[in-house]
Structure 1
């Protein structure tokens, strides 16, 4: 693992657990066992640039995971159920959704930094595009697929945040049970 990827992995984990503002550069340096010079060599603009790299890495990981799940299932409902099942499994076995969500970073930073807001927006747009493409394949019109993709993104992301704050898998289970009826009723 390169020094840069080590810093991105450690910082991503710290940002997801503690929030961007609560994590100092020294904590990141200590977690990676690197010097301040190494950090600024890879991220000349410091912590903000590192955060954007973390969001891009999350984007790649989340997108690869969602694309894999959606490619293995015939319908949007089946794929969404499989994805939610994976999230529930992660919560039950690991007690966290680290690596699956970035909402905490969005809520903390999206109004503070325009580059961070753009990175977060791109991730949500990418997630919606996968849902959209599958819905169109399922026969939904472009307009309906777009609306449903937005609804799915908001519902699943919101349920993940509720699971974390309630320390319960119930919100994801509820979304999983309601989603088929919502999609069929559209």
Structure 2
């Protein structure tokens, strides 16, 4: 793994554990065993540029995983159930679902910069597109599929945050039972 990728991986883990605001440059440098100059060589605009790189990397990983799950299943209902069940298993094994959401990183950022907001928006749009396409394959109109994809995204993200907050997979289990009936 090259240095840039290693920095992104380590910083992503730190941001997921502590949030963007909770991680300082010095902690990133120490965890990566880097000098300040080496970090700024790879990310000349500093911590925010690194955050955007982390969000983009997560976007690729999350959407790849969702696409794989949705390709394996005939209907949106089956795919949504399988995806949420995967989240429940991950949560029960690890006590967290850090690799499947980025909301823990950016929560608490009262005013995100435009580049960070754009990176976040891009991930949500990509996830909603996957859901919408599958819903349309199920015979749902484009407009309704787009609306339902918002509901799916909000429900799953909300359940992930609730599960993390109360340290229980119950919210994910509950939406496993309810969300598929809505789609």
TM-score of the two chains, using structure 2 as the length reference: 0.97
Cross-structure match for 2:17: 17
Cross-structure match for 1:122: 122
Secondary structure of the residue that 1:111 maps to in structure 2? coil
Q: Is the 8 A contact 2:80 2:180 kept in 1?
A: no
Give runs of aligned pairs for residues 33-44 of structure 1, distance below 5 A. Answer: 33-44=33-44
Distance 2:20 2:181 in 1: 37
4+ residue stretches of structure 1 with deviation over 4 A?
none
Superposed CA RMSD: 1.0
Distance 1:106 1:154 in 2: 16
CA positional deviation for 1:108: 2.7
Give the number of the structure with larger relative contact order, counting CA–CA contacts within 8 Å between residues 6 or more apart. 2
Cross-structure match for 2:67: 67
Q: Is the 8 A contact 2:8 2:54 kept in 1?
A: yes
Please, which runs of 5 or more residues in structure 1 have no aligned partner? none
Secondary structure of the residue that 1:22 maps to in structure 2? coil
Please, which runs of 5 or more residues in structure 2 have no aligned partner? none
Secondary structure of the residue that 1:108 maps to in structure 2? coil
**What is the aligned residue count?**
183
Distance 1:4 1:115 in 2: 19
TM-score of the two chains, using structure 1 as the length reference: 0.96
Distance 1:161 1:66 in 2: 18
